[in-house]
Chain A
Amino acid sequence: MHGYPGDVILAVDTSLGTAVALIDADGARRAEAAAVDPLGHAEVIGDLLVEALADAGPGEVTHVVAGMGPGPFTGLRIGIAAARAFALGRDIPVVPVPSHLAAALTALETETQPFAIVTDARRREVAITVFDGLDADGIPHVVAETVLVRAADADAHLEGVRRVDVATLSAVDLARVGARALAAGRVLTGDEPLYMRHPDVTVPGAPKKVGS
C-alpha cells in the first residue's frame, strides 16, 4: 500500500443491495453511497460511484476492493464487473474480499461471542459464515467457512451460535477489510465470485418424442 496522504481505497459490493464507499488508507471513512434495493444494481451502480467519488474529495484511488459474495449471482456480478472495470480504467489493482467479512466487521462493533453472518441465498436457502473476533491482522476470524443451508434448517445448523441476519452491507467495512488484507499482504479469496452453486443446467438426453 502506498500510504501517503491522499491515498484512498474504493469498495464496491452488490451481494445484497448496492454499496459503494471510499476510505483513507488508514481506514477512516471518506464517503459512502448505497441503495438497499436487492435488485436494480445495474441501474444505480454508476450514479452511486459518481456520488461517492465526489463526496470523498481529493485523493488518488489506489485500490478497488470488490465484494465477491456470496449473493444472488446476477446482482453480485454487476458490482464485480464495475469494480474491475473501474480498476482497469485507473490501472490499479482489485482486492477481492468475501462480502461476509464486511458484515462481520460491522457486527463486531457489538458482538463479543462467536456469531454467524446469515444472508439470503434465494431458493429458500441462506448463506452462513461463523466468526469469532478479529485475527492478528484485524480481519474477522472465520471459524466455519461459508455454507449454504436450507433456511428452515439454519437454526438447527447453528446449534445455538448467535445469528446475525444481514440485508445490507457496509462498503466502508468492506474497504477496511480490504485495506487490512493489503497491509498484511494477504489474499482473502480468489478472482472467482463466491457463487456457491453450479449453473442450473442439465446435459440434454435424447430429444423428446413429439409423436406423429
Chain B
Amino acid sequence: MSEPLVLGIETSCDETGIGIVRGRTLLSNTIASSMDEHARYGGVVPEVAARAHLEALQPAIDAALAEAGVRLDDLDAVAVTSGPGLAGALMVGVGAAKGLAVSIDKPLYAVNHLVGHIAADILTADSAPLEYPTIALLVSGGHTSLLHVRDLTTDVELLGETMDDAAGEAFDKVARLLSLPYPGGPEIDRAAADGDPDAIRFPRGLSRASDLAKHRYDFSFSGLKTAVARWVERCEADGVEVPVADVAASFREAVVDVLVTKALAACADLGVPRLLLGGGVIANRRLREVALRRAAEAGVTVRIPPLSLCTDNGAMIAALAAELISSGRRPSTLAFGADSTLPVTEIQIAEAVPA
C-alpha cells in the first residue's frame, strides 16, 4: 500500500479537525472551531470544548468526505490523536474513531499530536521533502515544545518545553491585561503594529546563565506575564495611560526572542541546520519574521507549513498515520485511551504485536 487513504480525527483542544490524505497528498482539511464559544471566558474551557467536539464531529466528517470526493469504504485506515491534549476533548475523538473504525472494519492508528504537527509539513506538495534531522519548534495555545526529529515515524526527542504557560496562553493572558479580546495572538499583533518592541525590556524566561544550565531548551512565560501585569498596574497607579502599543510590541518581542533564541541554540548545539515551525502561534507574523531573519544569519533553513496546517488539524494526524502505514507499521489495537500527557517519544500508541 504505497499511497494509503487515511481519515484523521483531531480533538485535542478547541478545534475539531477532520483530515483526509492519500499518502502525502492533502484531500481535505476540515476544521470546526469552538473558539468563539471560549471567547467570553478568555481562554479554552475544556468542558465547552468537549461538548463542541461531540456536536461537530459528524458534520465535519461528512464535509471532509464530500470535499475529498471519497467514501468511507474507500479508506485504508482511520487515525486519531491519542494525546497530548485536554483529556475530555481527546476522549470524544477516541470514542468516535473507534466507533468508525469498527463500523467500517478498517485499521485504526492512534498517534501523537505533537508529532502530527511535524507531519503537517509533508503535505506541502510544492516544497522539497522534509530533511532529517531537523529541530522543530511547536508553539500554540496548548504547547510550546522544542523537538529533535531524526525520523518522523521512529525517532523524535523532546529537547524542552514550557514549564508553565504555553506561549499562546501568555498571549491570551496579556491581551486580557491590556483589555484586548480573545484570542490574544492576533489582538496583540494588531496592537503591537505601531509599538516600539524595545520600549520596555521585559524578562526573557529561563534565559539567565544559571537557568540555562538546567533549562537550556525549556520555556517559561508566567514571569513575563507577571512583569507585564506589574507594568500595567504601575501605569494605573501613576495615573498614566497604558501605552498599549509599546507594551504589546515589547511583550511580543520578549516571547519571540526567547523562542527563536532557544530554537537556534538547539540547531547550533546539535549541528542541525534545519528548523521546522508549527503550531497556531506561528501565525504571528513577527515570530516568522524574526525566525527567518535570525535563522538566515545562523545558516539555518526554516520550514513553515501553510498556516491552515500549522493550527491543530486532522490532516496532520492522517498524514502521520499514512507515513506509519507506508513504513510498514501495524495498526493500533483498540485498547488505548486518551493520554493528556503523552510523551513525544510515543509516536504511535498501542501498535499491535504480530499474531
**Could you tell me if A212 and B96 are in contact, using CB atoms closer than 8 angstroms?**
no
Nearest CB in chain B: distance from A76 CB, A: 9
Q: Does B200 contact A (CB under 8 A)?
A: no
Please name all residues of chain B whose beta carbon is closer than 8 Å to the beta carbon of A46 when the two chains form the complex.
98-99, 101-102, 108, 334-335
**Could you tell me if B40 and A203 are in contact, using CB atoms closer than 8 angstroms?**
yes
Q: Roughly how many angstroms separate A118 CA and B72 CA in the complex, as a whole number?
A: 40
Nearest CB in chain A: distance from B126 CB, A: 33
Q: Does A45 contact B (CB under 8 A)?
A: yes
Q: Does B130 contact A (CB under 8 A)?
A: no
Residue of A nearest to B105 (CB): A89
Please name all residues of chain A whose beta carbon is closer than 8 Å to the beta carbon of B104 when the two chains form the complex.
89-90
**Could you tell me if B50 and A74 are in contact, using CB atoms closer than 8 angstroms?**
yes
Please name all residues of chain A whose beta carbon is closer than 8 Å to the beta carbon of B53 when the two chains form the complex.
81
Residue of A nearest to B234 (CB): A212
| Residue from B92, B103, B237 within 8 A of A81 (CB atoms) | B92
**Could you tell me if B98 and A82 are in contact, using CB atoms closer than 8 angstroms?**
yes
Residue of A nearest to B101 (CB): A46
Please name all residues of chain B whose beta carbon is closer than 8 Å to the beta carbon of A73 when the two chains form the complex.
47, 50-51, 88
Please name all residues of chain A whose beta carbon is closer than 8 Å to the beta carbon of B87 when the two chains form the complex.
74
Please name all residues of chain B whose beta carbon is closer than 8 Å to the beta carbon of A36 when the two chains form the complex.
none
Interface segment, one of A23-31, A47-55, A99-107, A144-152: A47-55
Please name all residues of chain B whose beta carbon is closer than 8 Å to the beta carbon of A43 when the two chains form the complex.
335-337
**Could you tell me if B95 and A86 are in contact, using CB atoms closer than 8 angstroms?**
no
| Residues of B331-347 contacting chain A, CB below 8 A | 334-338
Nearest CB in chain B: distance from A29 CB, A: 20
**Could you tell me if A204 and B41 are in contact, using CB atoms closer than 8 angstroms?**
yes
Q: Does B352 contact A (CB under 8 A)?
A: no
**Could you tell me if A81 and B57 are in contact, using CB atoms closer than 8 angstroms?**
yes
Interface segment, one of B146-154, B201-209, B225-233: B225-233
Q: Does A84 contact B (CB under 8 A)?
A: yes
Q: Roughly how many angstroms separate A82 CA and B102 CA in the complex, as a whole number?
A: 9
Q: Roughly how many angstroms separate A199 CA and B177 CA in the complex, as a whole number?
A: 25
| Residue from A40, A53, A84, A201 within 8 A of B102 (CB atoms) | A53
**Could you tell me if A86 and B233 are in contact, using CB atoms closer than 8 angstroms?**
no
Q: Roughly how many angstroms separate A201 CA and B233 CA in the complex, as a whole number?
A: 26
Nearest CB in chain A: distance from B165 CB, A: 14
**Could you tell me if B91 and A42 are in contact, using CB atoms closer than 8 angstroms?**
yes
Please name all residues of chain B whose beta carbon is closer than 8 Å to the beta carbon of A42 when the two chains form the complex.
91, 94-95, 98, 337-338
Q: Does A109 contact B (CB under 8 A)?
A: no
Residue of B nearest to A201 (CB): B45
Q: Does A210 contact B (CB under 8 A)?
A: yes
Chain B, residues 312-341, CB within 8 Å of chain A (1/0): the string is: 000000000000000000000011111000
**Could you tell me if A40 and B103 are in contact, using CB atoms closer than 8 angstroms?**
no
**Could you tell me if B95 and A199 are in contact, using CB atoms closer than 8 angstroms?**
no
Please name all residues of chain B whose beta carbon is closer than 8 Å to the beta carbon of A210 when the two chains form the complex.
226, 229-230, 233
Residue of A nearest to B230 (CB): A212
| Residue from A49, A78, A84, A201 within 8 A of B94 (CB atoms) | A78
Nearest CB in chain A: distance from B332 CB, A: 10
Q: Does A5 contact B (CB under 8 A)?
A: no
Q: Does B195 contact A (CB under 8 A)?
A: no
| Residues of A62-81 contacting chain B, CB below 8 A | 73-74, 77-81
Please name all residues of chain A whose beta carbon is closer than 8 Å to the beta carbon of B337 when the two chains form the complex.
40, 42-43
Residue of B nearest to A80 (CB): B54
| Residues of B256-299 contacting chain A, CB below 8 A | none
Known: A42-B338, A88-B100. A79 touches B47 (CB 8 A): no
Q: Roughly how many angstroms separate A200 CA and B51 CA in the complex, as a whole number?
A: 12
Q: Roughly how many angstroms separate A47 CA and B104 CA in the complex, as a whole number?
A: 14
Q: Does B303 contact A (CB under 8 A)?
A: no
Please name all residues of chain B whose beta carbon is closer than 8 Å to the beta carbon of A209 when the two chains form the complex.
229, 233
Q: Does A176 contact B (CB under 8 A)?
A: no
Q: Roughly how many angstroms separate A46 CA and B87 CA in the complex, as a whole number?
A: 18
Q: Does B176 contact A (CB under 8 A)?
A: yes
Nearest CB in chain B: distance from A53 CB, A: 7
**Could you tell me if B99 and A86 are in contact, using CB atoms closer than 8 angstroms?**
yes
| Residue from A79, A85, A202 within 8 A of B100 (CB atoms) | A85
| Residue from B47, B55, B95, B102 within 8 A of A41 (CB atoms) | B95
**Could you tell me if B91 and A204 are in contact, using CB atoms closer than 8 angstroms?**
no
| Residue from A40, A80, A212 within 8 A of B233 (CB atoms) | A212
Known: A200-B47, A201-B47. A84 touches B57 (CB 8 A): yes
Q: Enumerate 11 A-B pairs (CB-CB under 8 Å) in ascending A order.
A: A42-B98, A42-B338, A47-B335, A74-B91, A77-B91, A78-B95, A85-B95, A85-B98, A89-B72, A89-B102, A89-B103
The 9 closest A-B pairs by CB, nearest first: A89-B103, A46-B334, A82-B99, A46-B98, A85-B99, A78-B95, A81-B95, A199-B47, A85-B100
Given contacts A81-B53, A88-B72, 15 further A-B contacts (CB under 8 A): A12-B99, A46-B98, A46-B99, A47-B335, A74-B91, A77-B95, A78-B95, A81-B57, A81-B96, A85-B57, A85-B103, A86-B100, A209-B233, A210-B229, A212-B233
